[in-house]
Structures are given as C-alpha cells and as structure tokens.
Amino acid sequence: MLNLIDGIQRLGVSYHFTTEIEAALKHIYETCDHGHFDDLYTVALFFRLLRQQGFPVSCEVFNKFKNKQGKFQECLIGDVVGILSLYEATHLRVRAEKEILDEALTFTTTHLESMVPNLSNPIAEHVVHALNQPIHKGLTRLDARRYISFYEQNDSHNKDLLNFAKLDFNLLQKLHQRELSEITRWWKDLDFAKKLPFVRDRLVECYFWILGVYLEPQYWPARRILTKVIAMTSIIDDIYDAYGTLEELALFTDAIERTESSNIGMAKQGGSYHVDYAKSEMKNLVRGYFEEAKWFHQGYVPSMEEYMQVGLLTCGYKMLATVSYVGMGELATKEAFDWVSSFPLIVEAASVINRLTDDIVGHKFEQQRGHIVSAVQCYMKQHGATEEEAVTELYEQVTNAWKDINAECLYSTKVPMPLLVRVLNLARVINVLYKDEDGYTHSGTRTKNFVTSVLIDSVPIN
C-alpha cells in the first residue's frame, strides 16, 4: 500500500485520490505498530508519507538502525534504495530532531554522493536528482514529468498506473495551456512592454510560479487571480527597486494607499472580505517597498533585525499567501483569512526562505544594477563577517525555516491541510526557481527548461 501511494503521488495524480489516500494513511497510522517494519526503505517511506499527510510519526522509528555508539550502522551503506529513502525522509524533520534526523541527513548525503560514480542508470540519475532536489521541496508537476520516465524504466511498474499518469499529465497540460493563453491576452491588452519597458516581462514565469502553488483543475479561479497579482506585483517591485525617484515613489505609494476595493478585479470572486484582506496586504507590501526605497536613496544599511522586519513583507509571500486563498471557494473561510493575515509561523517561515534565498543568490547582481542592500550585506556589517560566513549563517536560517514549516504542517489545527499546503508550495517554488541563481530574473536557460517540460512538451504515449 505504501509503495502504491508513493507512486500515485510522485506520478502527479494524487489529486484524484485525496480522500482515499488520507483514509489509507490514517488507517495505517492508527492501526499499525510504528516499529513493525524492519527494512530501512520501508521505515523511511512510512515516515515520509505519513508526515507529508500531517501525521506526527516519531523520528525514533530510526533508532533501530543505529549502533551502540548512537551512529547509523555502517552495514546500511550497501542499501542504496534504503539510504535514498532515508535521505528523502530527513527533509520532513522539525527543530527538535537534530540528534536523529540532522545526523541522518549528513550520513545519507555523504554516502549517496560517494555511491554515484559506482551506480548505473537509471538509479544513478535518480540519486543525483534527489541530492539536488529532494521530493519534499520539489514541485509536483515538474517532478512528475521527470518521474514518469524513471518509473517507466522500472521493470515492476504498474502499467495501468503509468498510462493513467501519462494521459492525465497531458490532459492537465492542455488545461493549463488554455489558462495561460487567456491570461496572456489580458497581459497583452495592458501593453506593459511598451508602457514600462524597464520592468521584467515575466508572465509565463509568473504562471509557472503559481502552477507550483496549485495544479488542480478546480483551482483555476485561484490560479488566474494569483497569477495576475504576482505579475502586477513584479512590476511594482521593479518600479520601487531601481527606477522611481523618491518623490515619485511617495506619490505612487499614496495612490495605492487610497485604492478602494471596488477598483480591484478580485471583487467578483467570493465574499467582499476576501478583497479587503488582499487590499490590506497589498498596502502593507508597498509601504515596505517605500521604506526600502528610502534606505536605498539614503545609502542606509539597517541591522539584520530591522532589515528582516521589512524584508519579510517585501518578499511578498505574506501577501501572496493571503491572496492564494481568494478563489478557493468555501474552504477559505473568514477565520482562515484572519489566520493567514496574522502572519502565522508557517507564513513567516516561507517568507524567510523567500527573502534569504533570493538575497543569497541575487545580491551581487542586484548591487551592480543599483539595488537596496540585501541580508548578506546587513549581516556582514552587523557581525563583521565575511561574505562566505554571512551566506553560511543565512542558509542555516533557511534550513530552520523549513523545519518550522514541517512542524506547522504536523501540529497546526487552525486551518485545514489544503490551505497549509498553499504556503508550503510557495516555499517549494522558491527552492526550485532560486536554487543557485535567480531563475525568475534570469529565466533564459534553467527556468525555460522547467516551463518547457511542464507547459509545452507533452509526455510521449506509446
């Protein structure tokens, strides 16, 4: 059962079986002896699948694989599939699990890297991909496109499931193409390429971003709204970042502050309170943009605490998390909007991942084009640190933010899992698009390949 659920999820078709998967995993969690499984692969798969679903399985299930000295047994090294399964499981860890799961991550990463030269394909490619992009931090559609090919090479694959996954991928791709076509017409009518030639024209990348937040057909209204919002926010961000004078930005900020709900195209979706929350978050965002603009024009380098207080707003994820609930129907209640607008830990953690990852990979380029200071420079100045030391510390904060997200998905009871997943998915998009480089600003190669595999190239069907 665990292998079937894993296959369904990784092939990207689990949205068809959400109720059945929830029921099956709940039954396993409530009735199965958590120490029943003996092999590393199954224990790690059990741990990962149940934690992904929000069931708080204890990391102590892995103690059986440690020796008397508390270290993972060396005899595990020959079990490539088991080591890989444990590696994937470690990415569901929370802060309190350092002694077991942090150690497991180091153990598995070290041995998987050493194994790669001696492995043959397709498992070698599979391990290399996992080391670069673990399942928990990836995007469902992008990973499904790759996993379909890997699954097909497995001699024991389920042919019916494989064919279903291929057909479903292509059908869903057609739907997404139609959606993008409609949004593109809206974008072209606005003609920003001519009106504002200095801003980044990234509508397709924006749609890909939001496709990472929700891929399911029923969330088309939410995708349309959030894609339009992030596209407009990207333009506003560019205006504040480098192209407006302080006087112009003051007038622009004031104009947005005075915007009424009736002027916002989202007013047609759901209750009017949806728009009120979205409008409030947009105003908070531009206030932050204006504060950063003042820093830039004054040549001011804030402390890390001062920088992050503003930077967690201007990364945009509190606003996007709030707007992501608009268009999700009855699931997004007023209580849910109250919760997300209170800046709960999971939203704060996703914002930390966004802000710091963006700053780490983009700070050199941003300084060359005349940009506000980044977290890297703020940390270096405040602590007298080198750039390398600053980056190491900021990555550690990103790691802890992921642990906070995992904890919130396990223990939060204030909103249902489908709403928590939107915030988790926002963090996943950053992890994919901003791995090693700013894949949004510089979208020519890697991001272009992502878009092509998800939105252009269909899966071949024999």
Among 141, 126, 36, 35, smallest CA distance to 88 is for: 126
Determine which of 11-20, 81-90, 311-320, 404-413 has the lowest per-residue pLDDT on average. Answer: 404-413
Q: What is the mean pLDDT of residues 275-298?
A: 94
Token duo for residue 343: 């800046």
The last residue of one of the domains, among 113, 137, 161, is 137
Same domain assignment for residues 354 and 220: yes
Q: How far is CA 227 from CA 49, 197, 259, 324, in A?
A: 30, 20, 20, 10
Single-letter residue type at 40: L
Provide the CATH number for the domain around residue 286. Answer: 1.10.600.10
Same domain assignment for residues 180 and 256: yes
What total number of domains does the chain contain? Answer: 2
Domain-located, residue 143: no
Same domain assignment for residues 263 and 333: yes
pLDDT at 267 (0 to 100): 45
Same domain assignment for residues 279 and 323: yes
How many C-beta atoms lie closer than 10 Å to residue 329's C-beta? Answer: 13
Pair 371, 296: CB distance under 8 Å: yes
pLDDT in tens, 184-204: 999 999 999 889 888 888 999
Provide the CATH number for the domain around residue 45. Answer: 1.50.10.130
Domain-located, residue 133: yes
Pair 332, 271: CB distance under 8 Å: no
Taking CA 346 as the corner, what is the angle to CA 340 and CA 351, rounded to the nearest 5 degrees? Answer: 90
pLDDT at 64 (0 to 100): 93
Q: How far apart are CA 438 and CA 368, in angstroms?
A: 14
Same domain assignment for residues 264 and 329: yes
Q: What is the mean pLDDT of residues 408-422?
A: 92
Instruction: Write down the pTM of the prediction.
Output: 0.94
Q: What is the mean pLDDT of residues 67-77?
A: 91
Distance in Å from the first CA to the final CA of the chain: 27
Q: What is the mean pLDDT of residues 157-183?
A: 97
pLDDT at 417 (0 to 100): 93
Residue 368 has pLDDT above 60, yes or no: no
Taking CA 395 as the corner, what is the angle to CA 390 and CA 401, rounded to the nearest 5 degrees? Answer: 130
Domain that holds residue 66: 2-137
Q: What is the mean pLDDT of residues 270-292?
A: 88
Same domain assignment for residues 215 and 95: no
Same domain assignment for residues 375 and 449: yes
Domain-located, residue 152: no
Domain-located, residue 27: yes
Token duo for residue 170: 């292509």
Domain-located, residue 165: no
Same domain assignment for residues 434 and 324: yes
Same domain assignment for residues 181 and 298: yes
Pair 259, 276: CB distance under 8 Å: no
Same domain assignment for residues 333 and 407: yes
How many C-beta atoms lie closer than 10 Å to residue 149's C-beta? Answer: 12
The last residue of one of the domains, among 137, 162, 180, is 137
Q: How far is CA 439 from CA 300, 369, 405, in A?
A: 28, 17, 23
Domain-located, residue 161: no
Residue 370's pLDDT band, with cuts at 50, 70 and 90, is low
Same domain assignment for residues 76 and 219: no
Domain-located, residue 343: yes
Single-letter residue type at 117: P
Alpha helices, DSSP H, located in 315-461? 317-323, 334-341, 345-368, 375-383, 387-411, 417-433, 446-451
Q: How far apart are CA 370 and CA 460, in angstroms?
A: 46
How many C-beta atoms lie closer than 10 Å to residue 236's C-beta? Answer: 18
Same domain assignment for residues 224 and 111: no
Alpha helices, DSSP H, located in 153-271? 159-190, 192-195, 203-211, 220-238, 246-257
pLDDT in tens, 219-277: 999 999 999 999 999 999 999 987 789 999 999 999 999 876 544 444 444 456 688 89
Domain-located, residue 150: no
Residue 167 has pLDDT above 80, yes or no: yes
Residue 369 has pLDDT above 70, yes or no: no
pLDDT at 264 (0 to 100): 46
